[in-house]
Structures are given as structure tokens and as C-alpha cells.
Amino acid sequence: MGEYFYGWYFRCQGEGESLAVIPAVHLSPERRSCSVQIIARGGSLYREFPIFMFRINRKKGIMQIGENIFSRKGICLRMEVCRPGESVQETGGGRSGEENMTVRGVLRF
């Protein structure tokens, strides 16, 4: 099996602000994972998860990565993230609390 990436791009735009949320699946011979990336004017945030935390129901149009839910009706985000270049491990091996941020929110379409 070669390397495989599959991502979904949600662009959310309001008055003067724009936000992109990209849930993705990454498969390669060495590693299997999923991720959520958030891109805004001020920079980007990224969180990688083990592949077993990825769920999709194509019939209902709902995808879940960890506690983050993506659907045609909206997005619900709930995760710890680090500054770019850092990583939060799902097993609790993250960096100090000063470098971590909590991302929580609901966007309704």
C-alpha cells in the first residue's frame, strides 16, 4: 500500500473573518492516523489522532474524529491543540499546559 491522504475542507466565513477546518485521514506503510487542522488569519492549529478515533457514516453525512463532529449541518470542535511544530499525543504525552490550547465551539450551517 502506498501513501494515502483523504481530507475534507470546511470553509466558514463571516463578517471580516474566514476559517478553514480540515479533518483528514493519513495512511502509509509506516503510519495510520487522522487529524484536524484549523486555519485562520492568525495562523493554524493541528491535532493528530490515532486512526481508531475516526468514524464516518456516509449515509447520514457525519464524520467524527475524537470528540470532533463534522456534518452537513455543522461542525462541533472539542480538542486540545499545540502551537505549530508541537504535537499533542492522544495517550497523554502532550507538552506543558502553557503551550496547549483548548479548542471548543459549534458552527452551524
Give tens-digit pLDDT for 59-98: 999 999 999 999 999 999 999 986 655 555 544 444 444 4
Residue 41: pLDDT over 60: yes
Q: How confident is the model at residue 54 (pLDDT cuts 50, 70, 90)?
A: very high
pLDDT given for residue 43 in this prediction? 86
Give 28's DSSP letter: -
Are 65 and 36 in contact, with CB atoms under 8 Å apart? Answer: yes
* Alpha-carbon gap, residue 103 to 17, rounded angstroms: 17
Give 73's DSSP letter: T
Q: For the chain, give the mean pLDDT.
A: 85
Residue 100: pLDDT over 90: no
Across the chain, the runs of DSSP E, i.e. the strands, are 4-7, 10-14, 17-27, 32-40, 43-50, 54-57, 62-65, 68-71, 74-82, 100-108
Q: pTM for the full model?
A: 0.81
Q: Which amino acid is at 97?
A: G
Torsion angle defined by CA atoms of residues 47, 52, 53 and 55, in that order, rounded to the nearest 10 degrees:
120
Length of the chain: 109
